Structure formats: structure tokens, C-alpha cells
Amino acid sequence: MTWRGSLAPLAEHNFRWYAVARTVNLLGSTMGSVALAFAVLEISDSPTALGTVLAAHSIPLVVFLLAGGVIADRFGRTRVIQVCNVTAGTSNLAIAALVLSGHAQLWQVVVLTAVNGTAAAVSFPALASVLPQLVPHEHLQSANALMSMLRSGLTILGPTVAGVLVATVGPGWAIGIDGLTYLLSALALGAVRLPAAVRKESASMLDDLREGWGYVRSTRWLWSVVLAFCAICALHQGGFFTLGPVIAKSSPWGESGWGLVLSAEAVGLLVTGLVMLRLRLERPLLWGMVGTVLYCLPLVVLGLYPELPVLLVAAFVAGVGIEVFGLGWTLAMQEHVPPEMLSRAFSYDALGSFAAIPLGQLAAGPLAAAFGIDHVVLAAGLGVAAIALATLGVRDVRTLARTTSEPVSAPR
């Protein structure tokens, strides 16, 4: 693939405006996620409190994801994303105002975070499935790689800036910036012009859900990977994002060091995305699950030897693996799932992947108190590696190949 071909998606009007919208949005959200963790730890210096807030975001993700898939397939993906951005932006601004006032209470943050999680649940399937409508089929890998590089580049900057803001002026400002960027992103999406969604008046939402479930259940590579990530996401969220900030707060490198760790992971994502602009990923799920094994490295380092230089290297390598899986999985879905079912397929994917996350987040604190934080984090890392390797035992996962044409619509 030539560099000219790699950059071809930028010639598409809709893709350019979508990229602008996502740039603005991601610039804020990469700061907001870090700042929220430390805002909660200021209110209550407890891993259990942080796990509760994180679960308040992920539980609505589980509850409303399937509805989000049906809504996106019925009413248009960019419109759904716009409405959800406004909702998420408003809830983040409310959290920022409470934190900056100095009177934030845990229950208030939990409620507002749940609103944000609901918006994320409804918008997630639309975000995951809109790209094939923005570029020709032959430019899908380039478009996905460009968006991933954009996301990774902002993730390098965002957590580091958030760590500095948290350490200097407090987490409320970063959360407020996140809220504003959601609103600006909604405005930018207004320039994206897509054909109106075809609404199936004769089918109910329940019929749509049944149709989507039938497809997922009959597609072995799809449900195998989703089942694996149900456990992997729970282990990683509980070990890394719930217990990781606790380890950081009690370590010499502190909050700013944790921001550097997240940025190092993003550097790995960015470098790999650049490589994937030129290298065609022929066996997307085979290499994706191999990359997932690398996902365990930061957890293992946190459990065994939580020194910042070693952790930065582990985070970079994990970022490489995450990017290979993310691109491989997205291409597998976009190229093999019928377009009119893609949002629903992504919603079932996300439901399966996210279903156990609240359990991991809520259990992390009590398990750390009972067995020691380092032992729990290490066990989570080893579990991630074992599950990823086991998934490679599924033949359809190993052998799924790329396609040269758009997927055929499902029979009715």
C-alpha cells in the first residue's frame, strides 16, 4: 500500500468532518477519564469508592448497549452520536462544577457518571459502525488506521496534561474541558451528510434484537472473541484502571507518572497504527489475539515490580498489542457482517465484552484488601494472557481472512 493510498480517506468530505469531530471529542475524553479517577480519590481515598464510580459508568453500558445498536441501525448513526455527545457533555460539566466547588459528594458523581455511561452505551454501536459509510470499501483499513492514530496521538497528550492539571490546579478543570469538547464535537458532526437510515416499520425493536442475536450466535469467530473479552475486560478494568491509580497514588511517581504510563501505551498504539497504514493485515483475528497476549504486561509489572521506567516499556508494548487487536477486530466486523446489521453486531459485541466489567471493578477493592493489591493485579495479568492464548484454539478465529468486497446483506 502506497502512502498516497494510505491517506486517500482524507479526500472524503464526510470522513474529514468526522475526523474533526472525533479529534475534538477525544482531546477532552483522554483527559477526563484520568481526572475523574483522581477526583473520586479526593472525595474518598478508597479503591472501593473508585470502583463504584467506574461501575456506575459501565453498568449502563451493559444495560443500554443493545438498544443503542437498534437505534443506530434505525435512526442514523451520526444523529445518534450527536444527541449522545450533548448528553455526555452536559453531565461532565455538572461533575466539573461540583468538583470545582469543593462540595462534591460520592453519590452525586455516581449519578452523573451513570448518565454519561448511558450516553456512551447508546452511541458506542453507532461510533463502531459508521466508518464504512464514510469511505469506499478499499480504503477501510487506511481509514481505521488513521482514526486509530488520531486517537492514539491524543491519548499520548491527554493523560499527561491531565496528570499535570490534577497535580497543579485539581481534576475539576480537566473534567470541564472534557464536557465542552463533547458539545463542540456534536456541532462538527452536523457537517457529515449521510443517506437517511432505512427504517423497518414492520419490525419491532425486539424483532431487530432477535435478528441480531441469531446472527451472532451462528458466527463462531464472533461469539468466541466476545466471550473471551468478557473475562479479559473484567480482569483488565479491575486490575489496571481500578487498582492502578491506587498504586500510583502511593508510589513516588504519583499521579503525573500514571499519566505518563497511559501516554506510553498510546505511543505504542500510534507507532503500530503508522505501520498498519502500509502493512495489510491478512489474518486479522489470528494476529489480534496474539497482540492481546501483550495486554497483560502492565498488570504483571504492577504486580511484580511497579517501577516507572519498566512500567512505561510494558505499557508501550501493550499498546502495540492493543492496536493490532483493535484494527483486526474492526476490520473483521466491517468486512464480514452485513451492513444493515453492523450496529447491532457491535452492540452484542460490546455487551459481551462489557458485561463483567462492573464485577471486576467492584471486586477489585475487596480482593485487594483480602489478598494484597500486588497479588490481585498480577493474577489479573496472568488471566488475560491465558484467555487470549486459549481463544487461539478456535479454528475460525485463526483462519478468518480479509475480503476484497463489501459484505452481502443478510437474507430476510
Average pLDDT over residues 311-318: 96
pTM: 0.74
Average pLDDT over residues 126-155: 84
Could you give the CA distance from residue 174 to residue 111 in angstroms, rounded to a whole number?
Answer: 19
Looking at residue 221, what is its pLDDT?
96
Output 287 or 361, whichever has higher pLDDT. Answer: 287
Looking at residue 200, what is its pLDDT?
56
pLDDT band at 173 (very low <50, low <70, confident <90, very high): confident
10 Å Cβ neighbour count for 164?
Answer: 15
In order of their start, the domains of the chain are: 13-194+205-399 (1.20.1250.20)
Nearest to 400 by CA among 145, 220, 140: 220
Q: Which of 139-148, 381-390, 401-410 is predicted least confidently? A: 401-410
Q: Which of 138-147, 163-172, 337-346, 372-381 is predicted least confidently? A: 163-172
With 90 as the cut, is the pLDDT of residue 319 above it? yes
pLDDT band at 412 (very low <50, low <70, confident <90, very high): very low
With 90 as the cut, is the pLDDT of residue 328 above it? yes
Q: Which residue has the cell 463462531?
A: 220
With 60 as the cut, is the pLDDT of residue 178 above it? yes
Average pLDDT over residues 153-180: 81
Kindly report, residue by residue over 17-74, the tens digit of the pLDDT: 999 998 888 888 878 888 888 888 888 877 778 888 888 887 887 788 888 888 887 7
Torsion angles phi and psi, residue 251, rounded to 5: -100, 165
With 50 as the cut, is the pLDDT of residue 228 above it? yes
Could you give the CA distance from residue 371 to residue 38 in angstroms, rounded to a whole number?
Answer: 24
Q: Which residue has the cell 453486531?
A: 345
Looking at residue 361, what is its pLDDT?
83
Kindly report, residue by residue over 193-226, the tens digit of the pLDDT: 876 555 555 567 788 888 889 999 999 999 999 9
Looking at residue 198, what is its pLDDT?
53
Average pLDDT over residues 151-179: 80
pLDDT band at 411 (very low <50, low <70, confident <90, very high): very low
Average pLDDT over residues 102-109: 88
With 90 as the cut, is the pLDDT of residue 394 above it? yes
With 80 as the cut, is the pLDDT of residue 159 above it? no
With 50 as the cut, is the pLDDT of residue 188 above it? yes
Average pLDDT over residues 272-292: 90
